[in-house]
Amino acid sequence: MLHTLTFEIERNNGGGAILMPCIDRLRLADLVADFERENGHNDPAGGYGGIVPWHFNLGPLPSYFLGKEGPIEGEEKGEIYALFCECGDAGCWPLIAHVQADNEVVIWDRFAQPHRPKRDYTGFGPFMFARSQYDATVAAAALAEGIS
């Protein structure tokens, strides 16, 4: 099943863009929070927030969202922060996804919470997007907000 990626774009107090990934118009932060609650992950923890590209050197967004900017937590290629912490810090309470892409589709799967490595996200995703829609959405978000 193909999903649709969109972004809610907000501005923080300093005017920088915050990108909240949405899958089929549902905020990724809400989707993963619901999954965590349903699977008994109720230990005290931070909340998820959108990506803050201006605050962290993620690289060009089209390349970043294809997982081409290098590993972010481990040594495995294709990792991205799908979400930052609600405080805006990537390292505080992120959600990691692994990205696979070919000419037809982009897949987000193998989600992980690096501060709770024993959490099992099997069953969350995978989310498969049409490559053309995915690329257009990421490019539009980057252009509309003046971020590359």
Location of structure tokens 């959108």: 50
pLDDT tens digits along 32-53: 999 998 998 876 566 899 998 8
Integer CA distances (angstroms), 41 to 44, 64, 112, 113, 133, in order: 9, 28, 13, 11, 33
From CA 99, how far away is CA 104, in angstroms rounded? 13
Entry pTM: 0.90
**pLDDT score of 14:** 65
Q: DSSP secondary-structure letter at 86?
A: T
CB count in 10 Å sphere of residue 13: 5
pLDDT in tens, 58-108: 888 999 999 998 767 777 789 999 999 888 888 888 999 999 999 999 999
